[in-house]
Amino acid sequence: GRLVENRLGCDGLLDDFRISKGTRDFTTIPTAPLKQDEQTLVLLPFDTSDQIQVSAQSAPEKERDHWGKESVGFNQPVEATSDNRWQQTEIGTWLASTVPLPTGPVKKGLSIRVGQNKASTICYDTKNGKVRGIWSNGFLKPSPERFGLIRAPSPIGQIHFSSAEGPGWNQPFQFIGSHVNQNRVTLEYRIGETTVFDSPWLETSPEHTCFTRTFEIGPGETPLELFVATAGEVKTSASQPHQFITTKQKAPVRIGCVGGTDIQSRISTDKEQGTASFVIPPRKTTQRFLIYYQINPELKPKPASNAPALSVPTSLQTQLIPGPPHWTKILTTKGLLSQNNAPYVVDTLTIPHENPYRALFFISGHDFLDNGDLAVSTVHGDVWLVSGVDADLNELKWKRFATGLFQPLGLKVVNNKIYV
pLDDT computed for residue 417 by the predictor: 96
Could you tell me if 131 and 213 are in contact, meaning their C-beta atoms sit under 8 angstroms apart? yes
Q: Which residues of 268-280 are buried (b: 16+ CB within 10 A; e: fewer)?
A: eeeeeeebbbbeb
pLDDT computed for residue 206 by the predictor: 82
C-alpha distances in angstroms, 315 versus 90, 198, 203, 311, 354?
31, 11, 17, 12, 42
Compute CA 340 distance to the chain's CA centroid, rounded to the nearest angstrom.
Answer: 45
Each domain of the chain, given as residue ranges in start order, spans: 16-58, 85-320, 330-419
Q: Which of 93, 49, 308, 55 is nearest to 199 (CA)?
A: 93
Q: Which of 234, 225, 218, 216 is nearest to 293 (CA)?
A: 234
Residues 6+ apart with CB under 8 A from 53: 36, 40, 42, 43
pLDDT computed for residue 307 by the predictor: 64
What residue type is 137 in one-letter code?
A: N
On average, the pLDDT of the chain sits at: 87
Specify whether the backbone of 267 is left (phi greater than 0), alpha (psi in -120 to 50) or beta.
beta
Q: Which residues of 48-74 are buried (b: 16+ CB within 10 A; e: fewer)?
A: eeeeeeebeeeeeeeeeeebeeeeeee
Could you tell me if 196 and 210 are in contact, meaning their C-beta atoms sit under 8 angstroms apart? no
pLDDT computed for residue 47 by the predictor: 66
The CB density around residue 10, as the number of other CB atoms within 10 Å, is 15
Could you tell me if 221 and 282 are in contact, meaning their C-beta atoms sit under 8 angstroms apart? yes
pLDDT computed for residue 1 by the predictor: 44
pLDDT computed for residue 3 by the predictor: 47
β 417-419/412-414 pair status: antiparallel
pLDDT computed for residue 31 by the predictor: 79
Quote the CA–CA distance of 318 and 322 in Å, as a whole number: 9
Could you tell me if 271 and 265 are in contact, meaning their C-beta atoms sit under 8 angstroms apart? no
CATH code of the domain made up of 85-320:
2.70.98
Could you tell me if 36 and 4 are in contact, meaning their C-beta atoms sit under 8 angstroms apart? no
pLDDT computed for residue 13 by the predictor: 62
Residues 6+ apart with CB under 8 A from 19: 40, 41, 42, 58
Residues 6+ apart with CB under 8 A from 241: 265
Q: What is the DSSP letter of 72?
A: H
Low-confidence spans in the chain with pLDDT less than 70: 1-15, 46-68, 70-72, 76, 78, 270-272, 297-307
Q: Which of 282, 288, 280, 244 is nearest to 264 (CA)?
A: 280
Residue 286: half-sphere exposure toward Cβ, Cα within 13 Å: 12
Q: Which residues of 323-337 are buried (b: 16+ CB within 10 A; e: fewer)?
A: eeeebeeebebebee
